[in-house]
Amino acid sequence: MNEHVGEDATGTNFARAMFDVDHASTDCGIQLLGNGPGSATLAMKVTEDMLNGHAITHGGYVFLLADTAFAVACNGYGRPTVAAGASITYLEPTTAGDELVAEAVERVRYGRNGIYDVTVRRGDIVVAEFRGTSREIRARLASPCSATPRTP
């Protein structure tokens, strides 16, 4: 997919294809639950390998989940888009066995830029809030979405 596609199901498919070849996220067990233009919901089960020295989830894994939801949401228009910046606030610790769900929502798009908020929850408890800014880039000669997903 090298050209800009419409802001419809084609864009949603573009974001899903991008996620399918995102080995950094899928290798950590992150699952795409749903997405659309400017939105995404993903989940990740915390494993023992994700715990830090305090026996709680390493913040990098929570950030990875939130950042992946952000990436899927901002690529949901079918235009190659990357992070220009991001920040996260950790509110509650999590531990092995916890199922985390990240929900990304678009706040605004302006020109080639966007602002997205991601809430990470464990059940009804908010464990982190993430804000990302995005930047649409020129299509590459070989789209990363043309890569082959790994087979389990």
Tens-place pLDDT, residues 1-17 = 333 334 457 888 999 99
Does a structural domain hold residue 2?
Answer: no
Residues 84 and 112: their CA atoms lie apart, in Å, by: 11
For residue 14, CA distances in Å to 1, 39, 40 come to 8, 13, 13
Does a structural domain hold residue 151?
Answer: no
Does a structural domain hold residue 136?
Answer: yes
Q: Which residues form the domain of 40?
A: 9-144
How many domains is the chain partitioned into structurally? 1
CATH number reported for the structural domain that contains residue 24 in this entry: 3.10.129.10
Tens-place pLDDT, residues 41-73 = 999 999 999 999 999 999 999 999 999 999 999
Residues 141 and 65: their CA atoms lie apart, in Å, by: 28
Does a structural domain hold residue 48?
Answer: yes
Radius of gyration of the chain (CA): 15
Report which of residues 138 and 148 the model is more confident about: 138
- Cβ neighbours around 81 below 10 Å, total: 24
Q: Is 147 helix (H, G, I), strand (E, B) or coil?
A: coil
**pTM for this structure?**
0.87
Does a structural domain hold residue 68?
Answer: yes
Residue 140: per-residue pLDDT: 64
Residue 108 phi, psi dihedral angles, 5° rounding:
-160, 145
Does a structural domain hold residue 152?
Answer: no
For residue 60, CA distances in Å to 7, 24, 87 come to 31, 12, 12
Does a structural domain hold residue 149?
Answer: no
